[in-house]
A and B are shown apart, each in its own frame.
Chain A
Amino acid sequence: MKRHATWLYLLFWIVVSFLTMFPIYWLFVISVKPAVELFSTPEVLLSSVYWQNYIDVMNDSTLRGYMVNSLIISTGNAALVTVLGFLACYALTRFELGGKESIFFWTITNRMAPPAVFLLPLFLLFTQVYKFGDFTLLDSKIGMILVYCTFNLPFAIWTLRPTVDGIPKELDEAAFVDGASAWTVITEIILPLARPGLAVTLILTWVFAWNEYLLAATLTNFNARTLTTGLSEYVTTTGTEWGVMATISVFTLIPALIIFSMVQRHIVAGLTFGAVKG
Chain B
Amino acid sequence: MQSNRLGWILLAPTLVILFFFGVVPFFYVLWLSFHQWNPFAADPNVIFNGADNFRALVFDNGFLSSLGVTIAFVFFAVLSELVIGYALAQAFLKDFPGKAIFRTIHTLPLIMAPIIVGSIWKLMTTPSIGIIPSLLRSWFGYDLNIGTSAVAAFTVTVVMDIWHWTPLVTLTLIAALVSLPSDPFEQAQIDGANKRQIFWHITLPMIMPAVLATVFIRLMDALRTVDEVLMLTGGGPGSATRYLGVHIFKEVFPRTNYGYGSAISIIVLYLTIVACWLLYVSLIAPRNTKG
Contacts and interface: CB of A to CB of B under 8 A. Distances in A.
Decide if A and B touch, CB cutoff 8 A. Answer: yes
Interface of A: 1, 6, 9-10, 12-13, 16-17, 19-21, 23-24, 26-27, 30, 38-42, 44, 84-85, 87-88, 90-97, 101, 103-105, 107-118, 120-122, 124-125, 130, 146-147, 149-150, 153-155, 157-159, 161-163, 165-168, 173, 176, 182, 193-194, 196-197, 199-201, 203-204, 207, 210-211, 213-214, 227-228, 231-232, 235, 240, 242, 245-246, 249, 252-253, 256-257, 260-261, 264, 267-268, 270-271, 273-278
12 contacts: A23-B120, A23-B124, A41-B129, A87-B13, A101-B285, A112-B276, A159-B175, A165-B209, A249-B113, A261-B104, A271-B93, A271-B178
B7 to A, nearest CB: 3
Query: Chain A binding site: helix, strand, loop or mixed by DSSP?
Result: helix
A256 B111 contact: yes
A253 to B, nearest CB: 6
A252 B245 contact: no
B217 A155 contact: yes
A260 B104 contact: yes
A10 B186 contact: no
Contacts of A97: 4, 7-8, 11
B75 interface: no
Nearest to B37: A120
B2 A176 contact: yes
A10 B224 contact: no
Given A40-B129, A125-B25, A166 B179 contact: yes
The 10 closest A-B pairs by CB, nearest first: A95-B7, A121-B28, A121-B25, A256-B111, A110-B22, A275-B182, A91-B10, A200-B175, A91-B7, A158-B213
Contacts of B78: none
Given A23-B124, A42-B129, A200-B175, A260 B29 contact: no
A161 B175 CA distance: 11
B141 interface: no
Contacts of A213: 113-115, 227
B174 A200 contact: yes
Given A23-B124, A153-B14, A267-B174, A231 B163 contact: no
Interface string B10-40: 1101110110111111101100100000000
B199 A26 contact: no
B140 interface: no
A228 B115 contact: yes
Given A17-B105, A97-B4, A260-B104, A109 B273 contact: yes
Contacts of A130: 20
A276 B123 contact: no
A84 B175 contact: no
A274 B172 contact: no
A219 to B, nearest CB: 11
Contacts of B124: 23, 26
Contacts of A165: 209, 288, 291
B269 A105 contact: no
B148 to A, nearest CB: 19
Contacts of B223: 112, 114
B7 A24 contact: no
A230 to B, nearest CB: 10
Given A26-B131, A105-B280, A153-B14, A197 B111 contact: no
A261 B111 CA distance: 13
Contact of B120 (A30, A110, A155, A214): A30
Given A277-B185, A278-B185, A267 B175 contact: yes
Contacts of B175: 159, 163, 196-197, 199-201, 267, 270
Contacts of B73: none
A91 B11 contact: yes
B111 A278 contact: no
A121 B25 CA distance: 5
Contact of B198 (A19, A154, A166, A278): A278
A252 B40 CA distance: 39
B102 interface: yes
B101 to A, nearest CB: 8
Given A23-B117, A227-B113, 9 more contacts: A20-B109, A91-B6, A113-B26, A113-B265, A114-B268, A118-B26, A120-B32, A122-B25, A231-B115
Contact of A24 (B17, B23, B109, B119): B109
A231 B114 CA distance: 11
A237 B128 CA distance: 23
A6 B116 CA distance: 35
